[in-house]
Amino acid sequence: METPLHYKKKIDNGIVTCEILLNVIFAFNKRAKIYKDKELNYKYGYDSYNNQEKNKDLKLRCYNCKKDLLKFLQPCAIHKIVQTKEKNMKYYDWESEYFTFSDEKILRRGEFFDNELKRIVEFIVVKEVEKKEELFLYYNYGNFKFHIPTKKIIEGLEIIQVDNIASEVVDEKNLLSI
């Protein structure tokens, strides 16, 4: 989409309105997501033109521009996502953790002959749950909603736990030119 003429006139006169700023941030954000998807498309295939790396660079450039422009706005909250990941872990009888699990937590027991140790080695398989917390500064300005990752908690901002961060899909042709 071509930048609207009234935007160009205001920018040429050194005027940047909140509407212009939000539309530019929105365009950078959506373009970054488009480049992210393109980067993933090239991840597992043959890429003789280095398109994966090119899209990764463009994605990072757009996210950095978004982050720089969001410095002019105030976040309204912090969104926290807690992700849990289950994985099966194997512990051998020579490890101290082997003896710490109760029978209810053990999924499977097994043994094999180890030629190096010249003895039968016992092992157990245990399901472990790993929790990971991610924090995002949340900006809400009318129809525009943005998130950027953060490691610090800003005093005075409410922390809201959310399941995920959904993003609407938009056509690249409907974004401002950057």
pLDDT recorded at residue 4? 86
Count other C-beta atoms under 10 Å from residue 77's C-beta.
Answer: 16
Whether 177 has a pLDDT exceeding 80, the answer reads no
What percent of the chain is modeled with pLDDT above 70?
99
The torsion defined by the Cα of 11, 17, 20 and 21, in degrees rounded to 10, comes to 110
What beta strand segments (E) does 43-118 contain? 77-92, 106-114
Q: What is the CA radius of gyration of the chain?
A: 25
* Residue-wise pLDDT tens digits, 131-157: 999 999 999 999 999 999 999 999 999
What is the average per-residue pLDDT within 60-64?
96
Instruction: Say what the pTM is.
Output: 0.75
Query: Nearest to residue 32, comparing CAs of 7, 4, 6, 69?
Result: 69
Classify residue 31 as left (phi > 0), alpha (psi -120 to 50) or beta: alpha
pLDDT recorded at residue 128? 92
* Residue-wise pLDDT tens digits, 5-54: 888 899 899 999 999 999 999 999 999 999 999 999 888 877 788 999 99
